[in-house]
Structure 1
């Protein structure tokens, strides 16, 4: 069994434990996100679905599947980019901090990291002191990955 199969089996068991079902199409969309090296939009997933599975899937179906997967904490929506990534902690059985996303502005690579609850609590307090209310603790930070930074430095040297 390869790593993808193990992740999908774990996700399937996770859903089953919560009274939900990871249908074949849901598995295919989740597999596409897991195998992707970058965040994907619903329309990217539609194209990938047709390429990988030889089947057209309506946009509404993809959005419903993504909503389900997000509700089961198997994928995350990157609000600024309106794209989705598979949760990097699908196979973990322990609690994690609040997920945060580092997004390379050059290649769109996404890395999920966690920030401690105490850091988020401090941020929330600062937000409230400024007269605002935190709606979502998810942060999406625009970055440049090491690979793109190295390539940019090489290009600048020429």
Structure 2
């Protein structure tokens, strides 16, 4: 299956998921989600403004893109990487079952992002450790700085 066909299938699945929840995946929301699905790296709202202008001829204000990203997050279609203030498409758009807790591996060189899942028990252990030192875990999402295999083989 080609990359474009795969993305169209994911957009259709996202649209169906929204409809089941009584929400609407508008054309512009689909364009923003498509931008994230086309990218191997996390994108900012401003990157998505550029994507929509270049790929779809749409001049969408950044504030509107932020609102669309909030909607897509609420529908579990995208994740926000808080440390970078960027977004990635959820790796599990096609799944209709509950997953473990998503974590993000971010290559420090090429900025490629991969979503992995860790067991909820591991997050509970982390939460206990955080509380033992007088903090409260606000989000169980981890953003881990790594090097991908492609970059490991490249000279610095």
TM-score of Structure 1 vs Structure 2, range by shorter chain: over 0.9
Q: Which residue of 2 aligns with 1:24?
A: 27
CA distance in 1, matches of 2:132, 2:56: 51
5+ residue gaps, structure 2, are none
Q: Which residue of 1 aligns with 2:114?
A: 111
Q: Which residue of 2 aligns with 1:130?
A: 133
- State the 1:131 CA deviation: 1.1
5 Å-filtered alignment, 1:1-150, equals 2-150=5-153
Secondary structure of the residue aligned to 1:138 is coil
- State the 1:4 CA deviation: 1.2
Structure 1 segments (4+ residues) deviating >2 Å:
none
Aligned length: 153
The alignment yields a C-alpha RMSD, in angstroms, of 1.1
CA distance in 2, matches of 1:98, 1:37: 20
CA distance in 2, matches of 1:60, 1:42: 8
- State the 1:47 CA deviation: 0.7
- State the 1:3 CA deviation: 1.3
Question: Alpha-carbon deviations, 1:86-115, whole Å to 9, x = none?
Answer: 000000111110000000111110000000
CA distance in 1, matches of 2:60, 2:121: 42
Secondary structure of the residue aligned to 2:145 is strand
CA distance in 2, matches of 1:39, 1:3: 19
Query: Could you state the TM-score of these two structures normalised by the residue count of structure 1?
Result: 0.94
5+ residue gaps, structure 1, are none
CA distance in 1, matches of 2:120, 2:47: 33
